[in-house]
Chains A and B, each alone.
Chain A
């Protein structure tokens, strides 16, 4: 478990990733025409509440059956293979949007999207989770029992739960400030 080697430190993604990391179809895990297509979108904000137009958000998720995905092909999507992974650079208004499928639950656990956030001015990546909002007794109970959400002060839990809108789910990322998103430290990594 414990790392015997010092890990290579992270560095900011910088201002010039925009011609390198994005790729065709990066944010479309499924085509918008897919019958199960769900929009997961939001805005990245800085500590002044200003949108961050040079951030990059990556999503990693289970498939609708709640299974982990082990499919290559994210970088050259064929419109049929669901890889569970996507990437989206924010636009000039700080907005990102994925077209994806609703992740299924694994057992009793509350389903979530694992998001990784990068930006100019952000010296190392940040991990967070966007939980699906509860829409029935079972999913509300799963959220109420979730070990991470339970471990948070009540006023911060909401930063990790997406909000339904007419096309799907909204999840804003606040890098700083009163509504600061909860970012995660895992064992052996930064912040630990």
Chain B
């Protein structure tokens, strides 16, 4: 439902966002949230048509997604393994000669399917800004310092229980040009594979209590508050290591398995 639902704010906006203020964006976000709350229809998915995120206006399908039964190919997924990923790639703090600047954090959790079963031995990729909110990407022109000791890219394979664990630096928030004085809440990008292609997920992990949440149109494009909370990690003192790093726990839940038991055996 909902990903292609007509968007009441859309006709009055364009992808040229130079003029919009945060107040205008926040008003649009609020109107769409109110429309959702009044609808009484649960929609836990990300809206593709979400005009407060100006770049989405020309880049979302306007026709309904076509309901399809997955073919066997789409009920399988690429296989990754030890040949693809070395264990050290999960440590983003040791990729250079020196220590990166910032708050060292452990980010750990499990990748589960919709039935709560672990997704084993599958690829998890992450990328993020440094502690100052700067990406090591040539298109990032934010005048914050580059950290010569931090790239901000990592990979891991989940273990037998679907667990992953990264050691990294807490990313900073950063400005972007969606509207005047637009700032993204701090986040880590995650790319995750399931056991079926239909479960493919690229998302962002946020940090608890970020004051930028209600101002951000990308975070807000998930209009359901409970579903939105699934993108926010928990601080977990059990993951925190004495004298070393604080810990955040974030479980990733993919859509349900669509395979029948027969196909499962193949």
Contacts and interface: CB of A to CB of B under 8 A. Distances in A.
B204 interface: yes
19 contacts: A3-B256, A4-B114, A4-B256, A5-B114, A7-B44, A8-B201, A12-B218, A14-B204, A15-B140, A16-B127, A19-B135, A69-B78, A72-B80, A74-B80, A74-B84, A118-B202, A123-B221, A175-B58, A191-B1
A97 to B, nearest CB: 19
Interface of B: 1-4, 44-48, 50, 53, 55-74, 76-85, 112, 114-116, 123, 125-127, 129, 135-140, 151-153, 155, 189, 191, 197-198, 200-204, 218-219, 221-222, 226-228, 230-231, 252-258
Contacts of B221: 11, 123
A109 B74 CA distance: 14
A191 B55 contact: no
Interface residues of A, number: 77
Query: Which residue, A11, A15, A114, A175, has most C-beta atoms of chain B within 10 A?
Result: A11
Leading 3 A-B pairs by shortest Cβ distance: A3-B114, A121-B55, A3-B256
The main secondary structure of chain A at its interface with chain B is: loop
A11 B116 contact: no
Interface string A116-158: 1011111111110000000000000000000110011000000
A20 B203 contact: no
A75 B59 contact: no
Given A60-B78, A76-B83, A10 B201 contact: yes
B59 to A, nearest CB: 4
A85 interface: yes
A21 B130 CA distance: 17
A182 interface: yes
